[in-house]
Amino acid sequence: MKPLQFVKTALLAAVLALAGCTAPALRGTGDLGVVIERASGTVQIVDTTQLKSIATVPGLGDLSHASLVYSRDGRYAYVFGRDGGLSKVDLLKGVVERRIIQAGNSIGGAVSQDGSLIAAQNYAPGGVKVFRADTLELLADVPAEYGAQGQRSKVVGLADAPGNRFVWSLFDAGEIWVGDFSDPRAPRIDKYRNAGREPYDGMITPDGRYYLAGLFGEDGMAMLDMWHPEKGLRRILDGYGKGQEKLPVYKMPHLRGWAVAGKYAYVPAIGRHEVLVVDTETWKEAGRIAVAGQPVFVMARPDGRQVWVNFAFPDNGSVQVIDVETRSIVKRLEPGRAVLHMEFTPRGESVWISARDDNRVVVYDTASFAQRVVLPAAAPSGIFFTTRAGRTGF
Amino acid sequence: MNPATCASTRRATSPQARRFNRISSRIIAALFMLAGAAAADCASAAEPATQPDAARRSELITLVRQDCGSCHGLTLKGGLGPALLPEALHDKPADSLKATILQGRPGTAMPPWRRFLTEAEADWIVTNLQKGFPSD
């Protein structure tokens, strides 16, 4: 009997070992991210520890100007496509779990404080739509109607705010709206008019208190204190161009909470090759830094020691690094042609940069500026890491 | 651009302005500016335009799809800027479109592309936008 028992034990061990091979390895998502491949309608799921791509997910439609937000558990990415597609991508399985077409022309979205709601900001038809995060069921549709004839405005600068609120700006109307979605099927909308001409994007500070809209049509920004919305809008950085003629802008800048490093916010000047430094206690200009072109993304490293800047066409082949103590450029990098986006790893030891026309993503060490790895990607644009899941305004 | 095209563009200005009269005074002002720009082009465009070669055409396709696409969308169906599809452009005067590309539209987000494009290249872009822009 003893030999037979041995065979049985061996067989059982073999079966268990095989089962172990086929079951997926358990893993977290905290070091994962998504790279948008804008021309092919695919996204890559990347591992920022292993420095590699772990999956490619197809079928996401028109991803020009695509952006995404994460579920609060960091497992799902909600990808907003230009074609109005809203896709829920499972990072662990590498599949599109759900997908709807929610508008004709969309530009991005936000996730509510409690993670239960996904809001989409749309150009056409202009407005904001709010969905259940789990099922993508439509809960609220808020058309961006303005003026006597009820025209529809394009919506830009959508951000989440504490209290399951969303804040957004109306490009054509020059207004800022705040929606309280505590009761998502019956939102309460407050409208702030005369925000200024052509808000192009908006951001909320990392603490969720101040919403800022950048203005394309005027030199300045509109600000709303979310603790005291009853005080109305305040204009900051008014007239920073000092009446000088603007340089042409070949790509609109982008704003997010990454602008804040320490007590200062670093924002792109419109039509000027400058980064403006704003004191977030007084909201007055504290300085300006000359850079190599029209800034598009001005992003603080998570520890706030450096601010990285990329540029609009035709200066979009380089990236500059500002040291915040000296407010000087300490490094200029050339990751490739048409640098579209940058994303820091959770604690900022590395930055991932997309170079669209060289079909690659370049990862740099942010202390030594050495290249860590170059990954192939088809016309990469946005890079989004799951750290965003826990941050207000992302 | 030949003189006959220029002349017909100038004659067309007034009916266009009438057609758009109902829309807004801003659009009318923009049209007059464009017509003026087109007329100025006529005066200086004496030498024949050379077509961009295959390599340059490929660069122009990337430029239009990717960089114009920042505002007008990769598929040119519009974004912050208006759609650039044939159905939106086919009845617009080619000279006005060309002037918009080269000189931009003051008072809007449309910048001038004169630094990066020759007259002939702008012509090529307009012609192709009006008939359906190539993908690659």
Q: How far apart are CA A126 and CA A154, in angstroms?
A: 5
Contact A120/A104 with Cβ under 8 angstroms? no
> What distance in Å separates the CA atoms of residue A232 and residue A211, rounded to the nearest whole number?
11
Q: Tens of pLDDT along A341-384?
A: 999 999 999 999 999 999 999 999 999 999 999 999 999 999 99
The mean predicted confidence, pLDDT, of chain A is 94
- In this complex, is the C-beta atom of B67 within 8 Å of any C-beta atom belonging to chain A? yes
Contact A152, A143 (CB under 8 A): yes
Residues from chain A that touch B82, judged by Cβ atoms under 8 A, are none
**Beta-carbon separation of A82 and B66 below 8 A:** no
Residue A124 to residue B78, Cβ atoms within 8 A: yes
Q: Residue A348: which region, alpha, beta or left (left: phi > 0; alpha: psi -120 to 50)?
A: left
Q: Are A379 and A359 in contact (CB under 8 A)?
A: yes
Residue entry with tokens 């005067």: B93
pLDDT band at B50 (very low <50, low <70, confident <90, very high): confident
Which chain A residues touch B if contact means CB-CB below 8 Å? Answer: 38-39, 62, 64-65, 82-83, 105, 107, 123-124, 154, 156, 171, 198, 200, 216, 248-252, 313-314, 338, 356-357, 379
Which residue from B66, B79, B112 is facing A338, i.e. has the nearest CB? B66
Query: Does the structure show a pLDDT above 50 at A14?
Result: yes
Alpha-carbon distance of B80 to A176, in angstroms, equals 17
Q: Is B81 on the interface with A (CB under 8 A)?
A: no
In percent, how much of chain A has pLDDT > 70?
94
Contact B77 A105 (CB under 8 A): yes
- Inform me whether the pLDDT recorded for A13 exceeds 90: no
Residue A184 half-sphere exposure toward CB, CA atoms < 13 A: 21
Residue A11 has pLDDT above 60, yes or no: no
Q: Which DSSP category does A304 fall into?
A: S
Nearest-angstrom CA–CA distance, A201 and A67: 13
For residues A268 and A215, give the distance between their C-alpha atoms in angstroms, rounded to a whole number: 11
Q: Which two tokens stand for residue A5?
A: 């028992």
**pLDDT digits 0-9 by tens, B55-83:** 999 999 999 999 999 899 889 999 999 99
Classify B123 as helix, strand or coil: helix
Look-up of token digits 């030199």: A219
Q: Which amino acid is at B41?
A: D
- Are B121 and A264 in contact, with CB atoms under 8 Å apart? no
Q: In this structure, what are the phi and psi dihedrals at residue B37, rounded to the nearest 5 degrees?
A: -65, -40
Q: Find, among A100, A140, A146, the residue nearest to A119 by Cα.
A: A140
Q: In what order do the strands lie in the sheet with A264-268?
A: A260-261, A264-268, A274-279, A285-290
CB A331 within 8 A of CB A307: no
Selecting from A216, A338, A357 the residue whose C-beta is nearest the C-beta of B109 gives A216
- Say if residue B8's pLDDT is above 60: no
Q: What is the pLDDT of residue B33?
A: 52
The whole-angstrom distance between B8's CA and the closest CA on chain A is: 31
> For the CA atoms of chain A, what is the radius of gyration?
23
Cβ-nearest to B74 among A38, A248, A357: A38
Give A353's strand partners: A342, A362
Q: What is the pLDDT of residues A151-206, one digit of tens each?
A: 999 999 999 999 999 999 999 999 999 999 999 999 999 999 999 999 999 999 99
Residue B115 banded pLDDT, cuts 50, 70, 90: very high
- Range name among A62-66, A347-351, B4-8 with the lowest pLDDT average: B4-8
* Candidates A82, A101, A218, partner chain B, best to mutate (most B CBs within 10 A): A82
Mutate to test the interface with B, among A107, A250, A311, A381 (most CBs of B within 10 A): A250
Dihedral (Cα; A287, A292, A295, A296), 10-degree rounding: -150
Note the pLDDT of residue A20.
52
Token pair for A35: 């790279």
- ipTM, interface predicted TM-score of the complex: 0.84
* CA of A39 vs chain B CAs: smallest distance (Å): 8
**Top-ranked range on mean pLDDT: pick from B13-22, B43-52, B105-114:** B105-114
What are the tens digits of pLDDT across the range A78-108? Answer: 999 999 999 999 999 999 999 999 999 999 9
Reference A142, options A104, A186, A107; nearest CA is A186
pLDDT in the model for residue B2: 40
Tell me the percentage of chain B whose pLDDT exceeds 70.
64
Q: Which residues pair with A221 in a beta bridge?
A: A214, A236
DSSP class of A16: H
Interatomic CA distance for residues A123 and A155, integer angstroms: 6
- Does the pLDDT of residue B93 top 70, yes or no? yes
* Distance between B9 CA and the closest CA of chain A, angstroms: 28
Tell me how far apart the alpha carbons of residues A149 and A167 are, in angstroms, rounded to a whole number: 24
pLDDT of residue A311: 98
